[in-house]
A and B are shown apart, each in its own frame.
Chain A
């Protein structure tokens, strides 16, 4: 059981370059999330999705776009990377029920923008 898988695990970008981070989950979860984690800041929600074909903005959405074309995948895009986007990115997913809303996390993508 793979759970939540993120690719790539590490990436170095030059300022202005673009890239897409892929998150895949095999638990048939309705909800998926993208967070960034910076030292001393905890996790901040970038975008989230409550189902296939739907996305919504989180706390820090600027500079990022997302897509949820398939239920199992949630893509995070950076169109023009900036040094301020250097961070560790985590994807998570969860069920859509009142009883079971714990989130399952991927192992993270460490992104450096130079």
Chain B
């Protein structure tokens, strides 16, 4: 079964708005990562947050992690049309031995 589950499955917003995606997982983890996939391409790593961290920033990205609720959120601020992509969370229980991905959130940013 999937370790991570993203929510919502699809999200459509206007350029300039913020986009929030959520990820829930089932078992304990060492870290949680977010990836982006543009249509027809491979996944690109965005940000990693460790189990002892609660919040992390990278440019327009903000990730939070709540290990008590086994959930994470990815916030993209001031979205751009170029942010249109699918976003996946991946949990890592064993320092990279076995990433498990959720089904992803499809984000559409309309100009």
Chain A positions within 8 Å of B, measured between CB atoms, are: 4, 31, 33, 35, 40-45, 48, 50, 58-59, 90, 92, 94-98, 101-108
Query: Is B25 in the interface zone, CB < 8 Å from A?
Result: no
A-B contact pairs, 13 of them (CB 8 A): A31-B96, A42-B2, A42-B103, A43-B43, A45-B99, A48-B97, A92-B99, A94-B99, A101-B92, A102-B45, A103-B43, A103-B45, A106-B42
Most chain-A CB neighbours within 10 Å: which of B48, B92, B95? B95
Residues B41 and A108 in contact, CB atoms below 8 Å apart: yes
Known A-B contacts: A42-B102, A101-B33. Give 9 more (CB < 8 A). A35-B101, A42-B88, A43-B88, A45-B99, A50-B97, A92-B99, A101-B95, A103-B33, A108-B42
Q: Name the distance in Å between A102's Cβ and chain B's nearest Cβ.
A: 4
Kindly state the separation between the CA atoms of A93 and B80 in the bound complex, as whole angstroms: 29
Q: Name the distance in Å between A88's Cβ and chain B's nearest Cβ.
A: 9
Residues B103 and A96 in contact, CB atoms below 8 Å apart: no
* CB nearest neighbor in A for B103: A42
Q: How many residue pairs at the A-B interface have CB separations less than 8 Å?
A: 65
**Chain B interface residue number, banded:** 20 to 34
Q: Which of B10-39 contact A (CB under 8 A)?
A: 30-31, 33, 35
Contact with A along B66-107 (1 / 0, CB 8 A): 000000000000000000000010101001111111111000
Given contacts A42-B104, A59-B100, A101-B31, contact A96 B43 (CB under 8 A): no
- List the A side residues contacting B98 at CB < 8 Å: 45, 48, 58
Please pick, from A44, A90, A101, the residue contacting B42 in the complex, using a CB distance under 8 A.
A90
Please pick, from A45, A97, A101, A104, the residue contacting B100 in the complex, using a CB distance under 8 A.
A45
Q: Name the distance in Å between B27's Cβ and chain A's nearest Cβ.
A: 14
Kindly state the separation between the CA atoms of A71 and B95 in the bound complex, as whole angstroms: 19
Q: Name the distance in Å between A33's Cβ and chain B's nearest Cβ.
A: 7
Kindly state the separation between the CA atoms of A42 and B91 in the bound complex, as whole angstroms: 13
Given contacts A42-B2, A94-B96, A95-B96, contact A104 B101 (CB under 8 A): no
